[in-house]
Amino acid sequence: MKNLFLIAYLDVKESLRSKWFYVYALIFGGLMALFFVTGVSDSVVMGFTGLSRMLLIFIQVTIIILPIFILITTVKSISGDRESNVLEYMLSFPVSLKDYYWGKMLGRFSTVFLPVFLALLMGVVFGLFSGGEMPWKMVFLYSALLFSLSFVFLGLAFFLSTIVKSTDVALGSSFVVWIAMLAFIDIALMGLMLQNRLSDEVIITIAMLNPIEVFRIGAISLFDPELTVIGPVAYYLLDTLGAKLLMVYALVYPILVGALFAYFGYIAFRKKDLL
């Protein structure tokens, strides 16, 4: 266990020295900060009910950049080290594979989530100073949704990173996963529904299984409880599950999927040749 934290710590240190982290922190932290700031000032003006255009844009941007950023920066962590023989050297020290794998994952999760967390703090500080009523519940639920979204893609990235032998294949497959999930958010689903190609149950199931769509529905339902802006699938889900259950699902499901993939990755890491 002591080595798990050591490896997490060193992974964070390594990330903090790399350029991708600063690009990520700047883009994403900046967006998040804007998100909170707009959300807070909107709430002062109109009580945070009607979903402002700005918030909607932020949510959409998050949906697109967060997954791909996590995938491309993380998918290289194990496959890249393997390819460059860094893994060979680092694992020639008496460190268990359990500590190594989960330590890497913990470290990577910290770096990915750090900018989000800092932006959250910034939003809170801004809210306190601007004097408006801070919509605490929404801010925390939104952050929790981001946590879930980050986690599922981190789990996926670690899975791909361990089962694939080369970085190129790892990168390629993560693009495929990302595009496929983006393609099956509400808009595309609505198209399918209209064409009557698939039964409604199938479409709802696809929506419920897609972590990006789950995040999207969860996030938008926070601000627009009627979900009028995002289409029939989301509306149907809200109607059948109810707002509370929908939120619980949006928080728990991605974490479960992420954990499952991360675990499969771990099994592969132990059962296959390390180099």
Which residues are at the interface with another protein (CB under 8 A)? 2-3, 6, 10, 13-14, 17-18, 84-86, 88-97, 271-275
Alpha helices in 47-96 (DSSP H): 53-83, 86-90
Residue 115 is encoded by which pair of tokens?
Answer: 């900018």
User: Rounded to the nearest whole angstrom, what is the least distance from the CB of residue 97 to another protein in the complex?
Assistant: 7
Nearer to another protein (CB atom), residue 88 or residue 168: 88
Nearer to another protein (CB atom), residue 38 or residue 96: 96
User: Rounded to the nearest whole angstrom, what is the least distance from the CB of residue 250 to another protein in the complex?
Assistant: 36
User: Rounded to the nearest whole angstrom, what is the least distance from the CB of residue 270 to another protein in the complex?
Assistant: 9
C-alpha count within 13 angstroms, C-beta hemisphere, residue 120: 18
Give the span between the Cα atoms of 21 and 13, in whole angstroms.
11
Eight-class DSSP state of 230: S
Residue 94 is encoded by which pair of tokens?
Answer: 């008496």
Residue 262 is encoded by which pair of tokens?
Answer: 């991360």
User: Rounded to the nearest whole angstrom, what is the least distance from the CB of residue 77 to another protein in the complex?
Assistant: 11
Give the span between the Cα atoms of 25 and 240, in whole angstroms.
38
Q: In a 10 Å sphere around its CB, with 0-12 CB exposed, 13-18 middle and 19+ buried, how is residue 239 labelled? A: exposed
N residues, the chain: 275
Nearer to another protein (CB atom), residue 38 or residue 110: 110
User: Rounded to the nearest whole angstrom, what is the least distance from the CB of residue 96 to another protein in the complex?
Assistant: 5
Nearer to another protein (CB atom), residue 90 or residue 202: 90
Nearer to another protein (CB atom), residue 11 or residue 186: 11
